[in-house]
Amino acid sequence: MSLAPSASFILGNFKYDSHAATIVVPLALLPGVNSFRVTLPATAQLDAEPGDDASLDLDGGEGAETVLTGKIASIRRGFQTIEVVAVDGGSRLAAFRPAVTYEKQAAKEVIRALASEASVDIDNIALDVPLAAYVAHQRRTAAEHIAYLASLAAAAARFEADGKLTVSAPSGTAEVALLYGREISEARVRRRPAPSVQRFTIGSGPAGSANAPDALRHTTSRLPGNAATPGVSAVWEPNHVLRVPSAAVNASSAASAIFAAKATTITSRCFLLPKLRPGKVIEIQELPNGLSGGPWMLTRVEHRLSPTGGGATIFEGVSAGEGGFGGVLAALAGAIGGLL
């Protein structure tokens, strides 16, 4: 297969399609920040300034796709080159340290409020975590608060190519199928023993709902009420923001799912595939030597393009199938009633 990778990008009021010497695009789940760095010849016309609009389209040979939409973060000029770095809305969330308490608002409403304060557009928030109160303190950035709230439901928070925020749990079904020997040139799968310890995110509160009059009343009762005794086979992680039984049960399930998913990871290299980005679930077919083909949820992706090295995509992922996010969440969902 012969492919000719290419790129086009907008910096301020100008569009460029054949000027870049190199382009590097690191993408990550929150609290990471998506960015692209483009290196231009020093003689290239560039009238843009930090804060101006920026966007990047990449084409691995199968059609151009937008990879990032955001703003110019920095411009560095030298005798031979100009280096421009652009970032998406994750940078605004990373720079914002809120100091506000939200009462009787679910996690998705808190995320919407934080995004609004940082002037970040939202694509979709699929999250069900009822909260009686949430203190968004300045020890965390808004990006860290959102990532933390997403983790209570085993969800991933990330920015899409259009610059909008999305928060949702990964699917156990692959959205993209790749083939070893076609797209994939290298893959390394690391497997560790599946966690043998149950994890419980322990809340505190007698209320059946976040809107109940006694939702913030102090109590020594634990949530989930039927959590195993802490010790060699069970770990308790106190979390006083969880004051509703259903939220504590789901957060415990999420903690187990996240740890199980991280027990099996993949690092892989393929030709330039702009459609790959953090949060997407993929599978790799016909891997040799007994390597697992997934499904995998991507956690980090880096696209690279250079005149000499061509185009490449390097990605990292965690298990999204049985034994990972998908399998553990499905198994625990049936046990939720017994833990209340």
Residue 256 has a pLDDT of 85
Print the domain residue range for 39.
Answer: 6-87
In a domain, 104, yes or no: yes
Q: Are 68 and 26 in contact (CB under 8 A)?
A: no
Residue 321 maps to a domain: yes
User: Any idea what DSSP says for residue 161?
Assistant: T
The tens digit of pLDDT for each residue in 183-204 reads: 999 999 999 887 788 888 888 8
| pLDDT above 90 coverage of the chain, percent | 60
DSSP state of 119: T
239's tokens: 């979390």
293 with 210, same domain? no
Please count the residues of the chain: 340
Q: How many helices (H) and strands (E) does the chain have?
A: 6, 20
Report residues of the chain scoring pLDDT below 70.
1-3, 206-208, 322-340
Task: Clarify whether residues 184 and 318 are in a common domain.
Answer: yes
The residue among 22, 26, 1 whose CA lies nearest residue 301 is 26
CB of 36 closer than 8 Å to CB of 68: yes
Residue 257 confidence (pLDDT): 86
CA distance 146 to 119: 14
The answer on 10 and 80 residing in a single domain is yes
Q: What is the pTM of this model?
A: 0.90
**Domains: count for the chain:** 4
The answer to whether residues 16 and 67 belong to one domain is: yes
